[in-house]
A and B are shown apart, each in its own frame.
Chain A
Amino acid sequence: MGTLIDRFEEHDGPVRGIDFHKTQPLFVSGGDDYKIKVWSYQTRRCLFTLNGHLDYVRTVVFHHELPWIVSSSDDQTIRIWNWQNRSLICTMTGHNHYTMCAQFHPKEDLIVSASLDQSVRVWDISGLRKKHSAPTSMTFEDQMARSNPNQADMFGNTDAVVKFVLEGHDRGVNWVAFHPTLPLIVSAGDDRLVKLWRMSDTKAWEVDTCRGHFQNASACLFHPHQDLILSVGEDKTIRVWDLNKRTSVQSFKRENDRFWVIAAHPEINLFAAGHDNGVMVFKLERERPASAVHQSQLFFINKEKHVRSYDFQKNLESPSMLSLKKLGSPWVPPRTLSYNPAERAILVTSPADSGIYELISLPRDASGAVEPTDMKRGQGNSAIFVARNRFAVFNQAIQQIDIKDLSNSTTKTIKPPPGTVDIYFGGTGCLLLITPTSVILYDIQQKKNIAELAINGVKYVVWSNDGLYAALLSKHNVMIVTKALEQVSTLHETIRIKSATWDDAGVLLYSTLNHIKYTLLNGDNGIVRTLDQTVYLVRVKARSVYCLDRAAKPKVLTIDPTEYRFKLALVKRNYEEMLQIIKTSSLVGQSIISYLQKKGYPEIALQFVQDPQTRFELAIECGNLDVAVDMAKQLDRPRLWARLGTEALAQGNHLTVEMAYQKLRSFDKLSFLYLATGDQEKLARMAKIAEHRGDFTARFQNSLYLGDIEDRIQMFKEVDQYPLAYLTAKSNGLTEECEAILEASGLTEDQLSIPSMGTPLRPPKPIVPTFQSNWPVKSTSHSFFEKALLDQVEGLSPEDGIDPASNGLGVEEPTDGAGGKHNGHLEEEDEEAAGWDMGDDMNVEADNDFVNVESAETGSGSSEAELWARNSPLAADHVAGGSFDTAMQLLNRQVGAVNFGPLKPRFLEIYQASKTYLPASDGLPPLVNYVRRTVDETDSRKILPIIPKDLESIASGDLQAGYSAMRQNNLEEGVKIFKRILHTLLVNAVSTNHEFEEAKKIVSTATEYIIAMSIELERRRLADDPSNLKRVLELSAYFTIPKLEPAHRQLALVSAMNLAFKNKNLASALSFAGRILANGGPPKMLENARKLKAICERSPHDAIDIEFDQFAEFDICAASHTPIYRGSQVETCPYTGAMYHAKYKGTVCTVCGVTEIGAPASGFRLLSA
Chain B
Amino acid sequence: MDPFSAEGELLNIHNAFHQGQYSTVLEVDTSRFSNKNALPARILTLRARISLGQAEDVITELEGEGDVPDLKVVKALAEYAIGNKGEAVQVAEALAETSPDNATVQVVGGTILQAEGKSEEAIALLGKHQGNLEAVALIVQIHLQQNRTDLALKEVLAAKRWAQDSLLINIAESWVGLRVGGEKYQQAFYVFEELAQTPSSSAPKSIIGQAVAELHLGRLPETEAALRQALERDPKNPEAIANTIVFLIASGRDATEHISLLKTTSPEHPFLLDLQEKDATFDKAAAKYTAKVA
Binding site for B on A (CB under 8 A): 860-864, 882, 884-885, 888, 892, 897-901, 904, 907-909, 911-913, 915-933, 935-938, 943, 946, 948-949, 953, 957, 1145-1148, 1156, 1159
- The answer to the question of B8 belonging to the interface, with a C-beta cut-off of 8 Å to chain A, is no
Contact B216 A916 (CB under 8 A): yes
Cβ contacts under 8 Å, A884 to chain B = 278, 281-282, 285
CA of A456 to CA of B60 in the docked complex: distance in angstroms?
82
**Which among B64-72, B179-187, B194-202 touches the partner chain?**
B179-187
B212 touches A918 (CB 8 A): yes
> How far is A946 from B252 in the complex, measured between Cα atoms in Å?
11
Interchain CB contact under 8 A, B138 and A918: no
Task: Tell me if B245 is interfacial: C-beta within 8 Å of chain A.
Answer: yes
- Given the interface pairs A928-B270, A1147-B293, the reply to whether A918 lies near B182 with Cβ below 8 Å is no
Given contacts A860-B148, A915-B246, A935-B218, contact A921 B141 (CB under 8 A): yes
Instruction: Pick from B181, B185, B215, B288 the residue with the most CB of A within 10 Å.
Output: B181
Tell me whether A935 and B185 are in contact in the complex, defined as CB-CB below 8 angstroms, given that A911-B278, A921-B111, A1156-B291 are known contacts: yes
- Determine if B100 is an interface residue (Cβ-Cβ < 8 Å): no
Q: Which residues of A contact B250 (CB under 8 A)?
A: 913, 931, 946, 948
Please, how many angstroms separate the alpha-carbon atoms of A900 and B283 in the complex?
Answer: 9
Note all chain B residues with C-beta closer than 8 A to A900. Answer: 282, 285-286, 289
The reply to whether A912 and B182 form a contact with Cβ atoms under 8 Å apart is no
Q: In whole angstroms, what is the CA distance A898 to B81 when docked?
A: 46
Q: How far is the CA of A930 from the CA of B278 in the complex (A)?
A: 16
The residue on A at minimum CB distance from B177 is A929
Taking the closest CB of chain B, its distance from the CB of A1065, in whole angstroms, is 36
- B20 within 8 Å of A by Cβ? yes
Q: Is the CB of B292 within 8 A of A1146?
A: yes
Q: Which residues of A contact B175 (CB under 8 A)?
A: 918, 920, 927
Q: Which residue of B lies closest to A915 (CB)?
A: B246
Say yes or no: B293 contacts A916, CB within 8 Å.
no
Complex Cα distance, B137 from A935, in Å, reads 25
Q: Which of A864, A912, A915, A928 has the most CB of B within 10 A?
A: A912
Q: Which of A861, A901, A918 contacts B148 (CB 8 A)?
A: A861
CB-CB nearest 6 A-B residue pairs:
A1146-B292, A938-B182, A1146-B293, A900-B286, A913-B250, A913-B249
Q: Give the nearest-CB partner of B81 in chain A.
A: A923
Structural contact, B243 and A917, CB atoms closer than 8 A: yes
A957 to nearest B CB, angstroms?
A: 7
CB-contact partner of B285 in A888, A911, A916, A1148, under 8 A:
A888
Closest Cβ of chain B to A1115, distance in Å, is 21
Given contacts A884-B278, A916-B243, A1147-B293, contact A924 B215 (CB under 8 A): no
Q: Min CB distance, A1144 to chain B, in Å?
A: 8
**Those of B35-89 within 8 Å (CB) of chain A:** 47, 50-51, 77, 80-81
A904 lies within 8 A of B77 (CB): no
Known: A916-B215, A932-B216, A1146-B293. A949 touches B178 (CB 8 A): no
Contact of B217 among A892, A935, A938, A948 (CB under 8 A): A935
**New A-B pairs, 10, CB < 8 Å, besides A917-B246, A922-B18:** A899-B290, A900-B286, A908-B279, A917-B242, A917-B270, A919-B209, A921-B138, A924-B111, A924-B138, A1145-B293
Is the beta-carbon distance between B291 and A929 smaller than 8 angstroms?
A: no
In the complex the two chains form, what is the Cα distance from A317 to B204 in whole Å? Answer: 86
| Interfacial chain A residues near B283, Cβ < 8 Å | 904
Query: A921 with B285: in contact, given A908-B279, A1156-B291 (CB under 8 Å)?
Result: no
B182, B279, B285, B288: the one contacting A936 at CB < 8 Å is B182
* A924 CA to B185 CA, complexed, in Å: 22
**Complex alpha-carbon distance, A924 and B217, angstroms:** 25
CB contact under 8 A between A909 and B249, given known A892-B289, A900-B285: yes
How many Å lie between the Cα of A948 and that of B18 in the bound state? 33
**In the bound complex, how far is the Cα of B48 from the Cα of A674, in angstroms?**
76
How far, in angstroms, from A928 to B274 measured CA to CA in the complex? 11
A selection of 16 A-B contacts at a CB cut-off of 8 Å is A882-B281, A892-B289, A900-B285, A908-B282, A915-B271, A916-B178, A918-B178, A919-B239, A922-B47, A924-B138, A929-B178, A936-B182, A938-B180, A948-B249, A948-B251, A949-B252
Residue on B with the closest CB to A1144? B293
Nearest residue in A to B270 (C-beta to C-beta)? A925
B114 sits at the interface (CB 8 A): yes
Contacts of B179 in A (CB 8 A): 864, 929-930
Cβ–Cβ < 8 Å partners of A911 in chain B: 275, 278
Task: Point out the residue from A863, A920, A923, A943 that lies within 8 Å of B51, measured CB to CB.
Answer: A923
Is B4 positioned at the interface, with any CB of A under 8 Å from its CB? no
Which of B111, B148, B180, B269 lies in contact with A923, CB distance below 8 A?
Answer: B111
